[in-house]
Amino acid sequence: MKRDLPFILAAFLAAFFLATGGFMLAADMLSAPDPSDGRPQAFEVARGESFRQVAAKLEAEGFIRNAAAFRLLGEVRGAGRKIKAGFYSLSRTLAAADVLTVLTASGGDQVRVTIPEGWELRQIAAGLARKGVAGADEFLAAATDPAPYQSRFAWLALLPAGATLEGFLFPDTYMVAAGMPVRSLIEMMLARFEQVAWAEIKDRAEPLPPFESVVLASIVEREAARAQERPLIAGIYLNRLRLGMKLGADPTVEYALGRRQDAEHNLTYADIAIESPYNTYKHKGLPPGPIANPGLASLRAVLRPERTEYLYFVARGDGSHEFSRSYREQIAAQRRFQRHR
């Protein structure tokens, strides 16, 4: 017991200094990591993470200088029980005490935001606006150019010139701290894409490279209403690409038109004649970019498509599709289900 006394006394003195604002011994460890980097960035506290794990992650991501000093500060303030799971906006200009304040003060004031699979950027923008989380126009402007996010997400450099972040804002439910900047909102969605989707496609060259995989997955996401049909529809589109056929995908025309068809408003022949690089009835190959933000199931359908002899399909109107091997069969199916009028 006597042997442990110096360590107990040292811990008590350190806690005393921290509690009374005397940061003489820990000033450097608790100071801002980079006073010149004021960019707001998203930081996630995952559900079930301990305060020790949060501190370690903060240090690893460069938001604090020393995890042990941060934990001690948190213990003195009783912060461990006040931090809740969710996304927070942090910058490297914040001292450790300020980081702790953000994580504890914002914990009870969060908004649940759900991004459904297959939503386009404009739908995400409208959804965020309805929640009062971000202005629609501000969000769309921030999601147009991937360049500002490349320093954190190096894989964005693989996107072709002119690409937006369409397709790379991962559909999920997010707990967002009130007042989070738009850029941080986008970063949290990119971080989820990196964690969940990029991990699966980054090293793939077949059947398609990563960017093209996301493009096709976005089409599959919008086309397949039934999960079990996704690998088959992906296989059909890949067959068409391999044979040099036009994809003839309705969702790409809907994207070009800026509206979706429904039971009462099918696409017309005039619609599928629209001049747009996204109109896969007029142009061979994939469109220039994703047409929506696909979920993991659609990405996996593209990575592991069903091998099939089918080349065509048409919606039956109940969420399922009729599949055909020949153009003659397809024409007959279209007549039965009145796909285009």
> Are both 216 and 330 inside the same structural domain?
yes
Q: What percent of the chain has pLDDT over 90?
A: 50
Task: Determine the structural domain holding residue 230 and report its residue range.
Answer: 210-337
* Residue 300 is assigned to a structural domain of this protein: yes
Count of beta carbons in the 10 Å neighbourhood of residue 133 = 19
Cα-to-chain-centroid distance, residue 218: 13
277 and 193 within one domain: no
Domain match, 261 and 325 both: yes
Tell whether 119 and 53 lie within a shared domain. Answer: no
Domain boundary among 105, 120, 148: 105
Asked if residue 142 is part of any domain, the answer here is yes
pTM above 0.85, yes or no: no
330 and 237 fall within a common domain: yes
Domain final position from 201, 233, 249:
201
**Residue 100, domain member (yes or no):** yes
In this structure, the answer to whether residues 333 and 279 fall within a common structural domain is yes
Q: What are phi and psi of 90, to 5 degrees?
A: -125, 160
| Sequence-separated (6 or more) residues with CB below 8 Å from residue 139 | 121, 124, 125, 128, 129, 182, 185, 186
| Cα Rg of the chain (Å, integer) | 25
236 and 286 inside one domain: yes
* The domain boundary residue, chosen from 105, 137, 160: 105
Assess contact for 94 and 102: CB atoms under 8 A.
yes
Q: Are residues 332 and 216 in the same domain?
A: yes
Residue 12's pLDDT is 55
In a domain, 60, yes or no: yes
Q: Tell me whether residue 12 is in a domain.
A: no
215 and 152 inside one domain:
no
pLDDT digits (tens, 9 = 90+) for 6-50: 455 445 545 555 554 554 556 788 888 888 887 778 888 888 889
Domains held by the chain: number: 3
Q: Same structural domain for residues 214 and 333?
A: yes
Sign of the Cα pseudo-torsion (329, 330, 331, 337, in order): positive
The CATH number of whichever domain residue 38 belongs to comes to 3.30.1490.480
In the numeric block, which tokens belong to residue 241?
Answer: 């690409």
Q: How many CB atoms lie within 10 A of CB 37?
A: 12
Residue 134 falls within a domain, yes or no?
yes
Query: Tens of pLDDT along 265-308?
Result: 778 888 888 999 999 999 999 999 999 999 999 999 999 999 99
Tell me what pLDDT residue 66 has. 92
Q: CB neighbours (10 Å) of residue 245?
A: 15
- Token couple for 139: 């969000």
pLDDT tens, position by position, 135-184:
999 999 999 999 999 988 999 998 999 999 999 999 999 888 777 889 98
In whole angstroms, give the CA distance from residue 215 to residue 33. 39
* 204: alpha, beta or left? (left if phi > 0; alpha if psi -120 to 50): beta
Q: Identify the residue with better confidence: 236 or 83.
A: 236
Instruction: Determine the 3-state secondary structure of 95 from DSSP.
Output: coil
Do 95 and 124 belong together in one domain? no
Is residue 175 a part of any domain in this protein?
A: yes
Residues 92, 122, single domain; the answer is: no
Inside any domain, residue 4: no
